[in-house]
Chain A
Amino acid sequence: MSNKVYNILLVGVGGQGTILAGRILSRAAVSLGGEVKVSDIHGMAQRGGSVVTQVRFGPKVYSPAMAEGTADFLVAFEKLEARRWLPYLNADGKLIVNKEEIHPLPVLIGATTYPSALEDEMSKMVTNTLMLDAFDLARQAGNVKAVNVVMMGALAKYLPISREAWEEALASSVPERFLEINKKAFQLGWETAGI
């Protein structure tokens, strides 16, 4: 392993499973033998707010939270959240976005509208972009709640973590009765990341 510290930012909406995704990723990253730090801070209220989990791993990691402009990967479970957190992504970083739209309260009550051209805008801003329909892939895998694991499958393609480590992390993080669905979801994400 090089001296590189990987900075990975997972963002989404409360209830989408970003925290569990962060746990799977961090457990998998432990297999590399270096340090792993994770910061997931959630404000008040259980659901519906903007959620962010920061995962950092490498030979020596100081802060559990990364600085703006330093994320190697921004993994967004929702489009609006992708745009909100884009200033954290380094200019050379990779953006992985689930194309799902979850309307926040100001949109629901008609106080404002959901931005319409986010996908185009972000594709222009970030050269290194992967947009996928994780909701549909999760449905194919057998459960729409597996969006988070689809996203981890897509991310896994670009990280130096072995498939075995991912599978162990998955097995130790999700209930056994959902393991097969989650393995399938992971595989579908991995395949979508291609190349």
Chain B
Amino acid sequence: MQKPIVGYSFNKPKTTRGTSMRSTMLQNFVVRLVSLSLLSLGLLQTSGAAMIGTQQGIQSGAQAARIVRIETILARDDVARQLVAFGVDPLAVQSRVANLTDAELLVLEGKLDKQVAGAGVIGVIGVVFLVLIILEFVGVTDIFKRV
């Protein structure tokens, strides 16, 4: 089971209890390794740097192409770190971020915890909450009768 990484500025999804210094160092190492390999991935993708991509061509009115590229590389790095922190196998992170578009990366950057995540099962907290409301409602009705 992957524990969340500590020591980064984004919101941590869960508690970091029981994470020993040693495993933290190991995880930091893994994150750096992933970041490094991502950086090389970024260089690979921009090796034909002076070619203008289709999406970039459509949007080129908005912002200088070079600024967009740098922003995207930073966003890719940030999203990769977040994925590791959210429990994704570091070995899978590279292909996951590689298939996100620039626009998707910029949306996810720093906000992975706020995105819609389809889960498929009614969460325990949700059920308890609903049951509580209904139970309270029944109890309250008794009080009305007494009055």
Say whether A associates with B.
no
Chain A residues close to B by CB (< 8 Å): none
Chain B residues close to A by CB (< 8 Å): none
